[in-house]
Structure 1
């Protein structure tokens, strides 16, 4: 077992805010989500990320308080939509603990540990397969399922009692940290970022796209950083359109830039899906409270963006970069090592679905 000394600072900070009000621990956990490769503890090759460790502490403290007090202020408030997540978590838990034993030895699967398999399926990527059987990964999956679902319930309950600012403050801090870490990685300050890259993950920070380094921020690879940045972009873009706050505009634009510079096809798809959802709800927040001043500002902003894009396309090598991105991320993605590996994973998943009669 190894412990990251720098993580002690965050644990002390969590104790300081949680002792003042336990719900502040939820805000703190959300704030440290951008540290996607910062492991607080590593045991037998498994890394417990700082956010997961602090979420576990928060959940334990909330459960202890709920058991010892049983007051009306500590009741669990779960929306109807949240029950779908609880059902999904229960089924995922059943799959990780029961189905893996029920169908053990019936078919081949890709283990999470790349070195654990017995048969390498291709010379193009390192993944190997073995007969389905229980492993430590099933225990860790069950733990993360319970932790994620429990933290969701706790966060929703806290926001209903004390207001959404408990979650929103954490998102504002997390978004700011995400942008800051993205800037550090763009500037290739790897020695400084090594402090928070303590997890036993493969670090993919040397990849480039058209000669430009792909940004990964506080994560281990571009896709994770891009999808996180895309989600934060969507939230604060919607918040900016509803609340008309300059802060939200800055945070949305900052994370949009982070998503773009990750040069990730997964992040690009996530960003497109996010903006489609925003457009689908656009009529509601643009017509109900749309003032003349805001409408003018929106038109001026759109014109400025179009003008800036035109100048970038005319005066910079951006067209070549975009063409290279489209070629590598879309047109040739299927034939890349990543594309071949993911296609093999997808075939394996469909095979597992068929072999388990649709259960797994």
Structure 2
């Protein structure tokens, strides 16, 4: 089970690839990791000693996620037919070269089927991740696989920039056989980083999720030689990726770590805090050196970064994304809080996508599930623990929560993704282990805040 879990996580690196292309559904793509997930589920479903108890435990922990996803799957088939023509929406797969505010009457489409399949894969990932995590020493396998995924993802991304224009590009394109829009990633001689993914935004979103998990593992001293190197390498890659998604995520995550260090002294060891500060100072020194010794190169790179980050705020793309995000709110009110079903429209925020697709039921279920995953009222969510299994579970809790930050500004559908599902499964399974720091509720006196704040 653990070996098949590691295989599936490694296959997730090929996010721009296709194991199967469903031409009957408009060319919808089944990624290699989704294909492998089916075999992982079959492995989990095989009868064996204690297997029924493992399933029961996983089902209990994931009950609210199941409500969210099963309602979403049912809604994907039923709601677009009930509310057909009630409002105009932009399809999940936008019309190529169309008007940026193009919208069509709501109707059932193949994208509803595809979205239902991906939602089901998220639930299966959470279920199998939970069951696999119950094995002894699974935290070691998860930590080392995570570090390996980070290293490979970073190296593939860096190679797409450093070796641009060489035969290596053909090797990378070989893996981009999925039915996705392969965008031009060059600007004034600069090459944007996308590795074997179709575009920099999804490359950065995937990498950021693993970066948070790996960094949290390193901060909690879980396989530090593996996780520390993986986190460092992926941080470098994301910093030079010129992706708005990456920069939003890195800034938000850096702020979260700083606030934890401020309000929960001891949550990060002094040695690792110094490493983080030193890394930031080295990065700042590198930028200053570039400005001092090569002003022209610095100016060109600044223009390049500005083009794909700050300037986007006033671009046609930003206006289009704002229009897409608003559709979720409109769909919620137009359906009386029921939603129009996943896959019925394209959003640019997972928040409004969930609101418009699954309505009040879905919003409530996913909110309660996130509370159960993160456990914000428990000390172990903030303070270091000595038990490696518990520490890995806490790291997965943070990853499941923080990886949604970039999705809040970029996700097209309400599906958080199967990687998120794995993190939820890891967190709920591994945090059941007792620790040397009691896994009890947090008291305001421990952080110096008034009771009313907590």
TM-score of the pair, normalised by structure 2: 0.64
Structure 2: any 5+ residue segments left out of the alignment?
340-454
**Equivalent in the alignment of 2:257:** 278
- Separation (CA, whole Å) in 2 of partners of 1:358 and 1:261: 42
**Residue number among 66, 72, 77 corresponding to 1:92 in the alignment:** 72
Partner of 1:212: 190
Alignment pair present for 1:226 and 2:204: yes
Deviation for aligned residue 1:192? 0.7
Instruction: Tell me how many residue pairs correspond in the alignment.
Output: 328
Q: 1:160 aligns to what?
A: 134
- TM-superposed CA distance for 1:69, in Å, is 6.8
Pairs within 5 Å for 1:321-360: 321-322=301-302, 324-326=304-306, 328-330=308-310, 332-360=311-339
Shift, 1:300, TM fit: 5.3
Cα distance in 1 between the residues matched to 2:285 and 2:177: 43
Q: CA deviation at 1:294?
A: 5.9
Deviation at 1:40, TM superposition (A): 0.8
Runs of 5+ consecutive residues of structure 1 not aligned to the other structure = 1-21
Instruction: State which of 177, 180, 188 in structure 1 corresponds to 2:152.
Output: 177
Query: For 1:54, which of 22, 32, 36 is the aligned residue?
Result: 36
Matches of 1:94 and 1:75, distance apart in 2: 23
Confirm or deny: 8 A CA contact 1:242 1:285 kept in the other structure.
no
Cα pair distance change 1:304/1:130, threshold 3 Å: closer
Moved more, 207-216 or 25-34: 207-216
CA offsets per residue over residues 110-132 of structure 1, 9 Å max, x none?
Answer: 1223349xxx872xx4x743211
Tell me if structure 2 keeps the 8 A contact 1:264–1:329. Answer: yes
1:115-264 aligned within 5 A: 115=95, 122=99, 125=100, 128-162=102-136, 163-186=138-161, 187-188=163-164, 189-204=168-183, 206-209=184-187, 211-243=189-221, 245-264=224-243
Report what 2:285 is aligned to: 307
8 A Cα contact 1:101 1:133, kept in partner: yes
Q: Distance between the aligned counterparts of 1:259 and 1:82, measured in 2?
A: 32
1:161-195 Cα deviation digits (max 9, x unpaired):
33323432332222122112112311223211122
- Alpha-carbon offset, residue 208 of structure 1: 3.3
Distance 2:325 2:128 in 1: 34
The CA distance in 2 between the partners of 1:311 and 1:79, in whole Å, is: 54
| Residues 89 and 146, structure 1, Cα contact 8 Å, conserved in 2 | yes
- Which whole-Å CA distance do the structure 1 matches of 2:235 and 2:214 have between them? 10
Query: CA contact under 8 A between 2:143 and 2:227: conserved in structure 1?
Result: no
Aligned Cα root-mean-square deviation (Å): 3.0
Distance in 2 of aligned mates of 1:321 and 1:43: 41
TM superposition score normalised by structure 1: 0.79
Distance 1:253 1:90 in 2: 38
Is the CA contact (8 Å cut-off) linking 2:244 and 2:309 kept in structure 1? yes
For 1:228 and 1:106, the matched residues in 2 are separated by: 35
Partner SS, residue 202 of structure 1: coil
Structure 1 contact 108–131 (Cα < 8 Å) conserved:
yes
Distance change (3 Å), C-alpha of 1:98 and 1:169: farther
- Quickly say closer, same or farther: Cα 1:309–1:262, change in 2 above 3 A: closer
Which structure has more RCO (C-alpha within 8 Å, separation ≥ 6)? 2
